[in-house]
Amino acid sequence: MSNFYLAQRLRRLRSSSAMRSLFQETSVGLNDLVLPIFVEEGVDDYKVIKAMPGVMRIPEKRLAYEIERIAKAGIRSVITFGISHHADATGSDTWNEEGLVARMLRICKNTVPEIIVMSDTCFCEYTSHGHCGVLCDHVVDNDATLINLCKQAVVAAAAGADFIAPSAAMDGQVVMIRKALDAAGFIQTSIMSYSTKFASSFYGPFREATGTSLKGDRKTYQINPMNRREAIRESLIDATEGADALMVKPAGPYLDVLREIRDNTKLPLAAYQVSGEYAMIKFAAQAGIIDELNVVLESLGSIKRAGADLIFSYFALNLAEQKVF
């Protein structure tokens, strides 16, 4: 034992597990997590998603069972993604009152009325070309897409969605959807905006998950990953347009953006830990390189520490069923 006088000994507060827990600044619990689910119509069996070990497409006929299981595990919110067998040039099935979007939402809310259901509001899983809107001369037409987003949002709200979650990355999508919802009488339906959505390479496994047939990229409407100021501006614009909550997607590679948005708005802020982030952890764990659970908790904690109130994560159900929290 030395006799050095050190006024600042930070290790005092790390000296035991109880001491470390007492002074832990950030924590993550089930209430912080939203589970993304993939639902496929017209099939009988679950489909393994090879690029996302442990995640499967749910047959529509098994969705009620799965929502019950998810709720019993303690998950309080899901976001729905559909794998449509009725894709066309405009994604018209999304605003069909008997289409997959509406059916998924009705099943979820009729089975577990108290679960918070967010409807991903976009077209990439429902268009034959895989883009997020209406193509005109091989370019996504922003304003024509807005019209269809509004139709989809109203159908989703009527089917029971608690949140409309526009992810199409169209200029003006929040204000137009807000006006459409209010005009249709859905003033209590909230908007969770994908307000800062990057044109990221981390989405790769999601394309297998949804069967998206995209040719090309989405760089004309999603944000350049190298643009921090623009990314922050996008979220602040959506706040002025009436978003009830904002989102940064992906999460882990953009903690700096997440932190700065948090410092510039009082709105609830979410972050989406996307398919590529999930896959990297899963495959590294399978290779024996990392401890999966500890890395998952550290990654979620870093997202929360950076300023997220909610985290969309494919790990949510596994953590709930393991009773980690």
Question: In 3D, which of 257, 269, 249, 252 has the Cα closest to residue 232?
Answer: 257
Considering the chain, what is the average pLDDT of its residues? Answer: 96
Asked if residues 306 and 281 have their Cβ atoms less than 8 Å apart, the reply is: no
Give the Cα separation of 160 and 151 in Å (integer): 15
Model pLDDT, residue 130 = 80
**Mean pLDDT to the nearest integer, 166-192:** 98
Residue 264: which residues within 8 A CB-CB, separation 6 or more?
232, 236
Residue 274: which residues within 8 A CB-CB, separation 6 or more?
200, 202, 203, 206, 249, 250, 251
The whole-model pTM stands at 0.95
Give the Cα separation of 6 and 236 in Å (integer): 45
**Mean pLDDT to the nearest integer, 112-132:** 94
Model pLDDT, residue 131 = 87
Render pLDDT for 282-302 as a digit per residue (tens, 0 to 9).
Answer: 999 999 999 999 999 999 999
Q: Where are the domains of the chain?
A: 29-321
Question: In 3D, which of 305, 320, 322 has the Cα closest to residue 78?
Answer: 320
The residues assigned a catalytic role are 197, 249
**Mean pLDDT to the nearest integer, 50-69:** 97
Residue 263: which residues within 8 A CB-CB, separation 6 or more?
307
213: pLDDT strictly greater than 80:
no
Model pLDDT, residue 2 = 67
**Mean pLDDT to the nearest integer, 213-229:** 90
Give the Cα separation of 120 and 214 in Å (integer): 18
**Mean pLDDT to the nearest integer, 203-213:** 84
Lowest mean pLDDT across 54-63, 109-118, 133-142, 148-157: 133-142
Give the Cα separation of 177 and 61 in Å (integer): 30
Helix, strand or coil for residue 306? Answer: helix
Question: In 3D, which of 5, 200, 171, 163 has the Cα closest to residue 80?
Answer: 163
Confidence grade of residue 1 (pLDDT, cut at 50, 70, 90): low
Question: In 3D, which of 119, 131, 125, 126 has the Cα closest to residue 193?
Answer: 119
Confidence grade of residue 208 (pLDDT, cut at 50, 70, 90): confident
Asked if residues 75 and 36 have their Cβ atoms less than 8 Å apart, the reply is: no
**Mean pLDDT to the nearest integer, 156-167:** 98
**Mean pLDDT to the nearest integer, 40-44:** 97
Q: Two tokens at 141? A: 């037409």
Confidence grade of residue 83 (pLDDT, cut at 50, 70, 90): very high
248: pLDDT strictly greater than 70:
yes
Pairing of strands 56-59, 47-48: antiparallel
Model pLDDT, residue 195 = 98
Question: In 3D, which of 77, 210, 58 has the Cα closest to residue 132?
Answer: 210
Render pLDDT for 249-260 as a digit per residue (tens, 0 to 9).
Answer: 999 999 999 999
State the Cα torsion 201-194-258-280 to the nearest 10°.
-30
101: pLDDT strictly greater than 80:
yes
Name the packing angle between helices 255-264 and 292-306 (round to 10°).
Answer: 30
Query: For residue 34, which phi and psi values (nearest 5 degrees)?
Result: -120, 130
Q: How far is CA 303 from the centre of its chain?
A: 13
**Mean pLDDT to the nearest integer, 234-260:** 98
**Mean pLDDT to the nearest integer, 257-279:** 98
User: CA separation (Å) from 229 to 123, 194, 201?
Assistant: 27, 16, 20
Render pLDDT for 126-147 as a digit per residue (tens, 0 to 9).
Answer: 998 988 999 888 899 999 999 9
CATH class, range 29-321: alpha beta
Strand partners, 35: 78
